Structure 1
Amino acid sequence: MLDVTGLEAAYGDSRILFGIDLSVGDGEVVTLLGRNGMGKTTTIKSIFGLLPPRAGRVVVDGADLTGAAPHLVARAGLGYVPEGRQIFPTLNVEENLRATAKPGKWDIARIYELFPRLKERRRNMGNQLSGGEQQMLAIGRALMTNPRLMVLDEATEGLAPLIRADIWTCLRRLKDEGEAILVIDKNVDALTTFADRHVVIEKGRVVWTGTTAEILATPDVKDRFLHV
Protein backbone atom coordinates (compact mmCIF):
# COMPACT_ATOMS: atom_id res chain seq x y z
CA MET A 1 0.00 0.00 0.00
CA LEU A 2 2.76 2.43 1.07
CA ASP A 3 6.41 2.08 0.07
CA VAL A 4 8.99 4.61 1.23
CA THR A 5 12.56 4.15 0.00
CA GLY A 6 15.70 6.18 0.59
CA LEU A 7 13.78 9.12 2.08
CA GLU A 8 15.95 12.12 2.92
CA ALA A 9 14.75 15.42 4.34
CA ALA A 10 16.09 18.59 5.94
CA TYR A 11 15.04 21.82 7.56
CA GLY A 12 17.19 24.38 5.81
CA ASP A 13 20.78 23.21 6.13
CA SER A 14 19.98 20.77 8.92
CA ARG A 15 19.59 17.25 7.53
CA ILE A 16 17.15 15.15 9.54
CA LEU A 17 16.48 12.00 7.50
CA PHE A 18 19.23 9.90 5.92
CA GLY A 19 17.62 7.28 3.70
CA ILE A 20 14.53 6.04 5.52
CA ASP A 21 12.98 2.81 4.18
CA LEU A 22 9.60 1.56 5.37
CA SER A 23 6.47 -0.05 3.98
CA VAL A 24 2.90 -0.80 5.04
CA GLY A 25 0.89 -3.49 3.30
CA ASP A 26 -2.89 -3.75 3.00
CA GLY A 27 -4.42 -4.44 6.40
CA GLU A 28 -1.04 -4.26 8.14
CA VAL A 29 -0.20 -2.33 11.31
CA VAL A 30 3.34 -0.93 11.37
CA THR A 31 4.89 1.18 14.12
CA LEU A 32 7.54 3.87 13.72
CA LEU A 33 9.56 3.97 16.92
CA GLY A 34 12.40 6.02 18.33
CA ARG A 35 13.29 8.56 20.98
CA ASN A 36 12.19 12.17 20.71
CA GLY A 37 13.95 14.14 17.99
CA MET A 38 15.05 11.12 15.96
CA GLY A 39 13.02 11.99 12.84
CA LYS A 40 9.69 10.19 13.26
CA THR A 41 7.45 13.22 12.70
CA THR A 42 9.73 14.48 9.93
CA THR A 43 9.24 11.12 8.18
CA ILE A 44 5.47 11.51 8.36
CA LYS A 45 5.58 15.12 7.15
CA SER A 46 7.74 14.07 4.22
CA ILE A 47 5.31 11.29 3.29
CA PHE A 48 2.39 13.73 3.31
CA GLY A 49 4.16 16.45 1.33
CA LEU A 50 4.22 18.83 4.29
CA LEU A 51 8.02 18.84 4.01
CA PRO A 52 9.45 18.29 0.52
CA PRO A 53 11.90 15.36 0.56
CA ARG A 54 15.46 16.01 -0.58
CA ALA A 55 15.73 12.48 -2.02
CA GLY A 56 13.99 9.13 -2.06
CA ARG A 57 10.53 8.00 -3.13
CA VAL A 58 7.05 7.84 -1.61
CA VAL A 59 4.86 5.39 -3.53
CA VAL A 60 1.19 4.72 -2.79
CA ASP A 61 -0.42 1.81 -4.64
CA GLY A 62 2.24 2.08 -7.34
CA ALA A 63 1.82 5.84 -7.84
CA ASP A 64 4.87 8.00 -7.15
CA LEU A 65 3.70 10.76 -4.78
CA THR A 66 7.13 11.99 -3.75
CA GLY A 67 6.74 15.64 -2.79
CA ALA A 68 3.10 15.75 -3.93
CA ALA A 69 0.82 18.33 -2.34
CA PRO A 70 -0.83 17.13 0.89
CA HIS A 71 -4.33 17.12 -0.61
CA LEU A 72 -3.14 14.79 -3.38
CA VAL A 73 -1.63 12.41 -0.83
CA ALA A 74 -4.91 12.45 1.10
CA ARG A 75 -6.85 11.86 -2.10
CA ALA A 76 -4.66 8.81 -2.75
CA GLY A 77 -6.05 7.23 0.42
CA LEU A 78 -3.86 8.33 3.35
CA GLY A 79 -5.60 9.65 6.47
CA TYR A 80 -3.58 11.73 8.94
CA VAL A 81 -3.95 12.15 12.71
CA PRO A 82 -1.26 14.75 13.41
CA GLU A 83 0.71 15.31 16.57
CA GLY A 84 -1.17 17.92 18.60
CA ARG A 85 -4.52 16.86 17.02
CA GLN A 86 -5.06 20.16 15.15
CA ILE A 87 -8.84 19.95 15.13
CA PHE A 88 -10.85 23.01 14.09
CA PRO A 89 -11.39 24.87 17.40
CA THR A 90 -14.35 27.01 16.29
CA LEU A 91 -16.31 24.15 14.69
CA ASN A 92 -18.35 21.77 16.78
CA VAL A 93 -17.70 18.03 16.84
CA GLU A 94 -20.12 17.21 14.06
CA GLU A 95 -18.87 20.06 11.87
CA ASN A 96 -15.29 18.84 12.36
CA LEU A 97 -16.34 15.40 11.16
CA ARG A 98 -18.33 16.64 8.18
CA ALA A 99 -15.47 18.93 7.09
CA THR A 100 -13.41 15.98 5.84
CA ALA A 101 -16.20 13.58 4.87
CA LYS A 102 -15.78 11.39 1.83
CA PRO A 103 -18.26 8.66 0.81
CA GLY A 104 -17.45 5.21 2.12
CA LYS A 105 -17.95 2.84 5.02
CA TRP A 106 -17.06 5.43 7.65
CA ASP A 107 -19.81 7.96 8.33
CA ILE A 108 -20.85 9.99 11.37
CA ALA A 109 -23.03 7.20 12.76
CA ARG A 110 -20.09 4.78 12.73
CA ILE A 111 -17.77 7.35 14.30
CA TYR A 112 -20.30 7.84 17.12
CA GLU A 113 -20.48 4.08 17.55
CA LEU A 114 -16.68 3.94 17.79
CA PHE A 115 -16.53 6.93 20.17
CA PRO A 116 -19.84 7.36 22.05
CA ARG A 117 -18.36 10.31 23.94
CA LEU A 118 -18.23 12.28 20.69
CA LYS A 119 -21.96 11.79 20.18
CA GLU A 120 -22.58 13.15 23.66
CA ARG A 121 -20.42 16.18 22.84
CA ARG A 122 -21.46 16.62 19.21
CA ARG A 123 -22.63 20.22 19.71
CA ASN A 124 -19.53 21.29 21.62
CA MET A 125 -16.85 23.33 19.89
CA GLY A 126 -13.45 21.80 19.35
CA ASN A 127 -11.86 24.08 21.93
CA GLN A 128 -14.37 22.92 24.55
CA LEU A 129 -13.19 19.31 24.43
CA SER A 130 -10.70 17.58 26.71
CA GLY A 131 -7.42 16.36 25.27
CA GLY A 132 -8.74 12.81 25.06
CA GLU A 133 -11.93 13.93 23.32
CA GLN A 134 -9.88 15.98 20.87
CA GLN A 135 -7.80 12.91 20.03
CA MET A 136 -10.95 10.86 19.47
CA LEU A 137 -12.21 13.62 17.19
CA ALA A 138 -8.91 13.76 15.30
CA ILE A 139 -9.12 10.00 14.68
CA GLY A 140 -12.77 10.27 13.69
CA ARG A 141 -12.03 13.14 11.32
CA ALA A 142 -9.30 11.09 9.61
CA LEU A 143 -11.63 8.08 9.32
CA MET A 144 -14.28 10.29 7.69
CA THR A 145 -11.92 10.58 4.70
CA ASN A 146 -12.38 6.79 4.37
CA PRO A 147 -8.64 6.20 4.02
CA ARG A 148 -6.91 3.01 2.97
CA LEU A 149 -4.08 3.82 5.38
CA MET A 150 -4.37 5.62 8.71
CA VAL A 151 -1.26 7.45 9.93
CA LEU A 152 -1.16 8.50 13.59
CA ASP A 153 1.62 10.68 15.00
CA GLU A 154 1.91 10.26 18.81
CA ALA A 155 -1.39 8.42 19.10
CA THR A 156 -1.72 8.63 22.90
CA GLU A 157 0.76 11.32 23.97
CA GLY A 158 -0.35 13.20 27.07
CA LEU A 159 -3.57 11.22 27.53
CA ALA A 160 -4.88 9.74 30.76
CA PRO A 161 -4.51 5.96 31.11
CA LEU A 162 -8.23 5.25 30.61
CA ILE A 163 -8.37 7.36 27.44
CA ARG A 164 -5.17 5.74 26.22
CA ALA A 165 -6.80 2.35 26.65
CA ASP A 166 -9.78 3.56 24.59
CA ILE A 167 -7.45 4.58 21.76
CA TRP A 168 -5.72 1.17 21.77
CA THR A 169 -9.13 -0.53 21.68
CA CYS A 170 -10.06 1.65 18.70
CA LEU A 171 -6.88 0.78 16.81
CA ARG A 172 -7.34 -2.94 17.47
CA ARG A 173 -10.87 -2.71 16.09
CA LEU A 174 -9.63 -0.88 13.01
CA LYS A 175 -7.06 -3.60 12.45
CA ASP A 176 -9.72 -6.28 12.85
CA GLU A 177 -11.71 -4.49 10.13
CA GLY A 178 -8.73 -4.62 7.77
CA GLU A 179 -7.54 -1.02 8.10
CA ALA A 180 -3.86 -0.44 7.37
CA ILE A 181 -2.20 1.67 10.07
CA LEU A 182 1.14 3.41 10.52
CA VAL A 183 1.47 4.60 14.11
CA ILE A 184 3.99 6.55 16.16
CA ASP A 185 3.76 6.15 19.92
CA LYS A 186 6.01 5.57 22.92
CA ASN A 187 3.89 2.82 24.50
CA VAL A 188 5.75 -0.10 22.98
CA ASP A 189 4.15 -2.68 25.27
CA ALA A 190 0.67 -1.69 24.08
CA LEU A 191 1.75 -1.55 20.45
CA THR A 192 3.14 -5.08 20.53
CA THR A 193 -0.31 -6.43 21.43
CA PHE A 194 -1.65 -5.70 17.95
CA ALA A 195 1.03 -4.36 15.58
CA ASP A 196 2.54 -6.62 12.91
CA ARG A 197 5.92 -4.97 12.32
CA HIS A 198 8.12 -2.28 13.84
CA VAL A 199 10.59 0.18 12.37
CA VAL A 200 13.04 1.84 14.76
CA ILE A 201 14.87 5.00 13.77
CA GLU A 202 17.83 6.70 15.41
CA LYS A 203 19.17 10.06 14.23
CA GLY A 204 17.27 9.87 10.97
CA ARG A 205 18.29 6.35 10.04
CA VAL A 206 16.52 3.00 10.31
CA VAL A 207 18.49 1.00 12.86
CA TRP A 208 16.19 -1.98 13.36
CA THR A 209 13.11 -3.49 11.76
CA GLY A 210 11.22 -6.66 12.53
CA THR A 211 8.01 -8.38 13.56
CA THR A 212 6.35 -8.19 16.95
CA ALA A 213 7.69 -11.65 17.78
CA GLU A 214 11.20 -10.46 16.93
CA ILE A 215 11.04 -7.26 18.99
CA LEU A 216 9.69 -9.18 21.98
CA ALA A 217 12.55 -11.65 21.60
CA THR A 218 15.11 -8.83 21.38
CA PRO A 219 14.71 -6.73 24.56
CA ASP A 220 17.94 -4.87 23.96
CA VAL A 221 16.22 -3.03 21.07
CA LYS A 222 14.10 -1.13 23.60
CA ASP A 223 17.07 -0.58 25.92
CA ARG A 224 19.33 0.73 23.14
CA PHE A 225 16.97 2.82 21.04
CA LEU A 226 13.71 3.55 22.89
CA HIS A 227 14.40 4.18 26.57
CA VAL A 228 15.25 7.72 27.62
Structure 2
Amino acid sequence: MTAVLEMVGVTGGYGPAQVLFGIDLAVHAGEVVALIGRNGMGKSSTIGAALGLVTVTGGRVRVDGTDVTGAAPHRIARAGLGLVPEGRQVFPGLSVHENLVATARPGPWTEARVHELFPRLAERTGQRARLLSGGEQQMLAIGRALLTNPRLLILDEATEGLAPLIRRDIWAALARLKAEGLAILVVDKDLKALARLADRAVGLERGRVAWAGPGAALADTGGAARRLVGV
Protein backbone atom coordinates (compact mmCIF):
# COMPACT_ATOMS: atom_id res chain seq x y z
CA MET A 1 0.00 0.00 0.00
CA THR A 2 1.35 3.43 -0.96
CA ALA A 3 1.77 5.72 2.03
CA VAL A 4 0.05 9.09 2.04
CA LEU A 5 3.28 10.41 3.61
CA GLU A 6 6.58 8.57 3.57
CA MET A 7 9.87 9.88 4.94
CA VAL A 8 12.90 7.66 4.33
CA GLY A 9 16.24 8.38 5.96
CA VAL A 10 15.48 12.10 6.19
CA THR A 11 18.21 14.36 7.50
CA GLY A 12 17.91 18.11 7.72
CA GLY A 13 18.03 21.24 9.79
CA TYR A 14 18.33 24.98 9.88
CA GLY A 15 21.33 26.41 8.04
CA PRO A 16 24.45 24.65 9.31
CA ALA A 17 22.61 23.18 12.31
CA GLN A 18 21.52 19.59 11.68
CA VAL A 19 18.55 18.53 13.79
CA LEU A 20 17.22 15.43 11.99
CA PHE A 21 19.30 12.27 11.64
CA GLY A 22 17.75 9.63 9.40
CA ILE A 23 14.03 9.92 10.13
CA ASP A 24 11.88 7.05 8.86
CA LEU A 25 8.16 7.73 9.12
CA ALA A 26 5.08 6.66 7.16
CA VAL A 27 1.35 7.31 7.43
CA HIS A 28 -1.04 5.26 5.31
CA ALA A 29 -4.57 6.05 4.21
CA GLY A 30 -7.04 5.92 7.08
CA GLU A 31 -4.26 5.54 9.65
CA VAL A 32 -3.51 7.64 12.72
CA VAL A 33 0.14 7.91 13.72
CA ALA A 34 1.29 9.62 16.91
CA LEU A 35 4.66 11.40 16.96
CA ILE A 36 5.98 11.71 20.51
CA GLY A 37 9.03 12.95 22.37
CA ARG A 38 10.17 15.64 24.76
CA ASN A 39 10.43 19.28 23.70
CA GLY A 40 13.36 19.92 21.39
CA MET A 41 13.69 16.31 20.21
CA GLY A 42 12.70 16.98 16.60
CA LYS A 43 8.92 16.55 16.35
CA SER A 44 8.16 19.96 14.84
CA SER A 45 11.29 19.76 12.68
CA THR A 46 10.13 16.40 11.31
CA ILE A 47 6.77 17.92 10.42
CA GLY A 48 8.56 20.91 8.91
CA ALA A 49 10.74 18.64 6.78
CA ALA A 50 7.66 16.83 5.49
CA LEU A 51 6.06 20.13 4.54
CA GLY A 52 9.11 21.75 2.97
CA LEU A 53 9.52 24.21 5.84
CA VAL A 54 12.80 22.67 7.06
CA THR A 55 15.68 22.06 4.66
CA VAL A 56 16.07 18.37 3.83
CA THR A 57 19.73 17.51 3.26
CA GLY A 58 19.36 13.77 2.80
CA GLY A 59 16.75 11.06 2.34
CA ARG A 60 13.43 11.35 0.53
CA VAL A 61 9.94 12.68 1.27
CA ARG A 62 7.06 11.24 -0.74
CA VAL A 63 3.35 12.09 -0.80
CA ASP A 64 1.17 9.38 -2.34
CA GLY A 65 4.31 7.91 -3.88
CA THR A 66 5.40 11.17 -5.53
CA ASP A 67 8.80 12.50 -4.52
CA VAL A 68 8.35 16.01 -3.08
CA THR A 69 11.80 16.33 -1.50
CA GLY A 70 12.88 19.95 -1.76
CA ALA A 71 9.56 21.11 -3.23
CA ALA A 72 8.09 24.45 -2.20
CA PRO A 73 5.76 24.28 0.83
CA HIS A 74 2.70 25.40 -1.15
CA ARG A 75 3.25 22.61 -3.68
CA ILE A 76 3.50 20.02 -0.92
CA ALA A 77 0.34 21.39 0.70
CA ARG A 78 -1.48 21.11 -2.62
CA ALA A 79 -0.29 17.51 -2.89
CA GLY A 80 -2.53 16.74 0.07
CA LEU A 81 -0.97 17.70 3.42
CA GLY A 82 -2.97 19.94 5.75
CA LEU A 83 -1.25 21.47 8.80
CA VAL A 84 -2.65 22.56 12.15
CA PRO A 85 0.46 24.39 13.42
CA GLU A 86 1.68 24.64 16.97
CA GLY A 87 0.26 27.81 18.49
CA ARG A 88 -2.72 27.71 16.09
CA GLN A 89 -1.57 30.75 14.02
CA VAL A 90 -5.04 31.82 12.93
CA PHE A 91 -5.41 35.18 11.17
CA PRO A 92 -6.34 37.37 14.18
CA GLY A 93 -7.91 40.25 12.27
CA LEU A 94 -10.11 38.06 10.08
CA SER A 95 -13.46 36.64 11.07
CA VAL A 96 -14.04 32.95 11.71
CA HIS A 97 -15.67 32.70 8.28
CA GLU A 98 -12.79 34.51 6.57
CA ASN A 99 -10.21 32.28 8.27
CA LEU A 100 -12.00 29.17 7.08
CA VAL A 101 -12.36 30.19 3.45
CA ALA A 102 -8.99 31.95 3.08
CA THR A 103 -7.15 28.78 2.01
CA ALA A 104 -10.11 26.54 1.14
CA ARG A 105 -9.91 24.19 -1.82
CA PRO A 106 -12.76 22.30 -3.53
CA GLY A 107 -13.63 18.93 -2.06
CA PRO A 108 -15.91 17.10 0.36
CA TRP A 109 -14.99 19.34 3.28
CA THR A 110 -17.12 22.49 3.29
CA GLU A 111 -17.69 25.28 5.76
CA ALA A 112 -21.02 23.68 6.69
CA ARG A 113 -19.27 20.38 7.53
CA VAL A 114 -16.75 22.22 9.71
CA HIS A 115 -19.63 23.94 11.52
CA GLU A 116 -21.22 20.55 12.10
CA LEU A 117 -17.95 19.20 13.50
CA PHE A 118 -17.40 22.29 15.67
CA PRO A 119 -20.75 24.00 16.43
CA ARG A 120 -18.92 26.72 18.40
CA LEU A 121 -17.51 28.03 15.13
CA ALA A 122 -20.97 28.28 13.59
CA GLU A 123 -22.04 30.42 16.55
CA ARG A 124 -19.07 32.75 16.05
CA THR A 125 -18.83 32.89 12.27
CA GLY A 126 -18.65 36.70 12.10
CA GLN A 127 -16.39 37.14 15.15
CA ARG A 128 -12.74 38.17 14.79
CA ALA A 129 -10.39 35.28 15.47
CA ARG A 130 -8.41 37.27 18.05
CA LEU A 131 -11.50 37.36 20.26
CA LEU A 132 -11.89 33.58 20.39
CA SER A 133 -10.69 31.48 23.30
CA GLY A 134 -7.59 29.33 22.81
CA GLY A 135 -9.75 26.25 22.37
CA GLU A 136 -11.96 27.94 19.80
CA GLN A 137 -8.88 29.10 17.92
CA GLN A 138 -7.65 25.50 17.83
CA MET A 139 -11.00 24.38 16.43
CA LEU A 140 -10.68 27.13 13.85
CA ALA A 141 -7.16 26.02 12.92
CA ILE A 142 -8.38 22.44 12.47
CA GLY A 143 -11.35 23.61 10.42
CA ARG A 144 -9.10 25.77 8.24
CA ALA A 145 -6.84 22.76 7.56
CA LEU A 146 -9.81 20.52 6.77
CA LEU A 147 -11.10 23.02 4.23
CA THR A 148 -7.92 22.52 2.21
CA ASN A 149 -9.37 19.00 1.77
CA PRO A 150 -6.15 17.21 2.70
CA ARG A 151 -5.27 13.56 2.27
CA LEU A 152 -3.35 13.80 5.56
CA LEU A 153 -4.15 16.06 8.50
CA ILE A 154 -1.06 16.98 10.56
CA LEU A 155 -1.50 18.42 14.05
CA ASP A 156 1.48 19.84 15.94
CA GLU A 157 0.54 19.88 19.66
CA ALA A 158 -3.13 19.09 19.18
CA THR A 159 -4.35 20.04 22.67
CA GLU A 160 -1.47 21.83 24.39
CA GLY A 161 -2.60 24.49 26.87
CA LEU A 162 -6.32 23.85 26.39
CA ALA A 163 -8.96 23.45 29.08
CA PRO A 164 -10.01 19.84 29.85
CA LEU A 165 -13.46 20.16 28.28
CA ILE A 166 -11.99 21.62 25.10
CA ARG A 167 -9.38 18.88 24.97
CA ARG A 168 -12.18 16.34 25.21
CA ASP A 169 -13.97 17.98 22.27
CA ILE A 170 -10.79 18.03 20.17
CA TRP A 171 -10.07 14.34 20.81
CA ALA A 172 -13.68 13.47 20.01
CA ALA A 173 -13.43 15.37 16.73
CA LEU A 174 -10.19 13.58 15.80
CA ALA A 175 -11.80 10.21 16.59
CA ARG A 176 -14.64 11.11 14.27
CA LEU A 177 -12.21 12.11 11.51
CA LYS A 178 -10.43 8.79 11.94
CA ALA A 179 -13.74 6.93 11.69
CA GLU A 180 -14.40 8.76 8.43
CA GLY A 181 -11.09 7.45 7.05
CA LEU A 182 -8.90 10.56 7.17
CA ALA A 183 -5.19 9.88 7.71
CA ILE A 184 -3.81 11.81 10.69
CA LEU A 185 -0.31 12.53 12.03
CA VAL A 186 -0.60 13.97 15.52
CA VAL A 187 1.84 15.38 18.04
CA ASP A 188 0.67 15.66 21.64
CA LYS A 189 1.83 14.94 25.17
CA ASP A 190 -1.37 13.23 26.33
CA LEU A 191 -0.28 9.62 25.88
CA LYS A 192 -3.49 8.25 27.36
CA ALA A 193 -5.58 10.04 24.73
CA LEU A 194 -3.13 9.14 21.98
CA ALA A 195 -3.28 5.46 22.98
CA ARG A 196 -7.02 5.47 22.33
CA LEU A 197 -6.68 7.22 18.97
CA ALA A 198 -3.43 6.13 17.32
CA ASP A 199 -2.88 2.96 15.31
CA ARG A 200 0.89 3.38 15.55
CA ALA A 201 3.34 5.63 17.36
CA VAL A 202 6.87 6.86 16.67
CA GLY A 203 9.08 8.30 19.39
CA LEU A 204 11.90 10.74 18.71
CA GLU A 205 15.00 11.48 20.74
CA ARG A 206 17.62 14.00 19.63
CA GLY A 207 16.38 14.01 16.07
CA ARG A 208 16.36 10.23 15.68
CA VAL A 209 13.66 7.56 15.80
CA ALA A 210 14.24 5.98 19.21
CA TRP A 211 11.11 3.84 19.41
CA ALA A 212 8.19 2.70 17.28
CA GLY A 213 5.23 0.53 18.17
CA PRO A 214 1.47 0.15 18.30
CA GLY A 215 -0.54 3.10 19.56
CA ALA A 216 -1.94 1.03 22.41
CA ALA A 217 1.59 0.76 23.85
CA LEU A 218 1.39 4.45 24.76
CA ALA A 219 -0.90 3.47 27.64
CA ASP A 220 1.86 1.40 29.26
CA THR A 221 3.05 3.55 32.17
CA GLY A 222 6.29 1.59 32.41
CA GLY A 223 7.03 1.35 28.71
CA ALA A 224 9.65 2.93 26.48
CA ALA A 225 7.20 5.51 25.15
CA ARG A 226 6.78 6.99 28.65
CA ARG A 227 10.53 7.35 28.99
CA LEU A 228 10.65 9.37 25.78
CA VAL A 229 8.21 11.97 27.06
CA GLY A 230 9.38 12.01 30.70
CA VAL A 231 11.35 14.84 32.26
Given the two structures, how large is their TM-score scaled by the length of structure 1? Answer: 0.97
**Structure 1: gaps of 5 or more residues:** none
Match of 1:29 in 2: 32
Instruction: Report how far residue 213 of structure 1 moved.
Output: 3.6
Instruction: Report how far residue 52 of structure 1 moved.
Output: 1.6
Of residues 217, 221, 225, the one that matches 2:224 is: 221
Instruction: Report how far residue 191 of structure 1 moved.
Output: 0.6
Are 2:173 and 1:183 equivalent residues in the alignment?
Answer: no
3-state SS, counterpart of residue 48 of structure 2: helix
Match of 2:211 in 1: 208
Match of 2:57 in 1: 54
Of residues 195, 198, 215, the one that matches 1:195 is: 198
| Larger displacement relative to structure 2 (212-221 or 100-109) | 212-221
Match of 2:80 in 1: 77
How many residue pairs were aligned?
228
CA distance in 2, matches of 1:97, 1:212: 31
Q: Deviations over 1:146-166 (max 9, x none)?
A: 111000000001101110011
CA distance in 1, matches of 2:100, 2:217: 38
Match of 2:148 in 1: 145
**Percent identity (aligned):** 61
Partners of 2:38 and 2:230 within 8 A in 1? yes
Q: Deviations over 1:32-71 (max 9, x none)?
A: 0000000000011111011121111110111000121111
Of residues 96, 100, 103, the one that matches 1:93 is: 96
Instruction: Report how far residue 214 of structure 1 moved.
Output: 4.0
**Structure 2: gaps of 5 or more residues:** none
Of residues 48, 54, 63, the one that matches 1:45 is: 48
Instruction: Report how far residue 170 of structure 1 moved.
Output: 0.5
Partners of 2:92 and 2:129 within 8 A in 1? yes
CA distance in 2, matches of 1:159, 1:185: 12
Partners of 2:14 and 2:55 within 8 A in 1? no
Are 2:172 and 1:169 equivalent residues in the alignment?
Answer: yes
Match of 1:17 in 2: 20
CA distance in 2, matches of 1:110, 1:69: 29
3-state SS, counterpart of residue 117 of structure 1: helix
Instruction: Report how far residue 103 of structure 1 moved.
Output: 1.3
3-state SS, counterpart of residue 207 of structure 1: strand
CA distance in 1, matches of 2:25, 2:226: 22
| Larger displacement relative to structure 2 (164-173 or 9-18) | 9-18
Match of 2:71 in 1: 68
Given the two structures, how large is their TM-score scaled by the length of structure 2? Answer: 0.96
Instruction: Report how far residue 217 of structure 1 moved.
Output: 5.3
Instruction: Report how far residue 227 of structure 1 moved.
Output: 1.2
